[in-house]
Amino acid sequence: MVYKEDKPVIVACIPAYNEEKYIAKVIVETKKYVDKIIVCDDGSRDLTAEIARELGAIVVKHNENKGYGAALRTLFKKALELDPDIIVTLDADGQHDPKEIPRLVEPILKGEADIVIGSRFLGKTTQPKWRILGVKAVTRTVKTAFNINEITDAQSGFRAYRASVVGDLIPEDNTMAASVEILAKARNKNLKIKEVPVTITSHEDASKHNPLYHLAVLIVGIIQLFTERHPLLLLGLPGLVSVIVSLVMMLRILLVYKETRIIDPILTTSVLILFTVGLLMVALGLVFYAIARLKQYMQGLGSLGKKE
């Protein structure tokens, strides 16, 4: 693979929210391994943006805290304007070690991967057990839902991307679920994903959210992504089963009425509700399926336009 001037241009993207305590060290260390650094100050109320700018980073600022996914979206779009070969993402709170950037980049340089994930489970982590268990549970769910068997750490924000594929991976979700959305999009595009071992160091300021809230957001995000990709399976099929069951029950109610002239109002109401909900689920499944197909078609036209 040939890169510009035989030397790959690497841009680091750092989402940041109230990280004045750690951002300076992260930028200084990251500078050693990349050509340019972009920091997205996601509505910080401290000196994060000022410190990053003073240290030479390109700073893009959100007026309010929009979330991790929104920060990534802004970072990716800005990074692509710089025409890089590789884009690296890492956290601003010092959990990731910039010294490991070359390890992340190497499989892309060798043509072995389009996306490289730094996995704490292949390397080392000092994070608490509850967080490790949560990440493993999310990863297991992602592997099953989207058939991405080659990953062990779906929530790692320490990643490297071949810049040419990033345009197809820009997340729409504003939350932490964006990391999962990117993987789902990568699988849909049949991109090569590889993991390398990294060290993740935890500290008291490492998480800005309650762990239960964080997990709930991820679960909702995964369900939403799976529904968008398999609407007939998640909505249409259960809806169809509900319609069939309700029709069978309604037939039973009519047979009982024919013999006894008695109708159970509670049972009849329940059956009608089941039938209505089933029809609604089938209809939603068909609508979401049509939207998904239209979205794929439009993306295909967009890709074709880029090639031309």
Domain 4-228 falls in which CATH fold? Spore Coat Polysaccharide Biosynthesis Protein SpsA; Chain A (3.90.550)
In the numeric block, the tokens 């990534």 are attached to: 72
**Per residue in 33-49, pLDDT tens?**
999 999 999 999 999 99
Cβ-defined contacts of 6-10 (< 8 Å, 24+): 8/85, 8/86, 8/105, 8/109, 9/35, 9/36, 9/82, 9/83, 9/84, 9/85, 9/86, 10/34, 10/35, 10/36, 10/84, 10/85, 10/86, 10/87, 10/88, 10/101, 10/105
The model's pTM: 0.74
Q: Where are the domains of the chain?
A: 4-228, 231-307
**How far is 1 from 116, CA to CA, in rounded Å?**
17
Instruction: Give the model's pLDDT for residue 92.
Output: 95
Q: Looking at the chain, how many residues does it have?
A: 308
What does the alpha-carbon distance between residue 256 and residue 236 come to, in Å, rounded to a whole number? 30
* Res 30 pLDDT > 70: yes
The amino acid that residue 86 corresponds to is I
- Determine what percent of the chain is predicted with pLDDT higher than 70: 84
pLDDT at 182 over 70: yes
Question: What is the arithmetic mean of pLDDT over 17-27?
Answer: 96
Q: How many helices (H) and strands (E) does the chain have?
A: 11, 7
Output the pLDDT for position 115: 97
Burial of 190 (0-12, 13-18, 19+ CB in 10 A): exposed
Give the pLDDT confidence of 94-127 residue by residue, as tens digits.
999 999 999 999 999 999 999 999 999 998 888 7
Check residue 218 and give its pLDDT.
Answer: 65
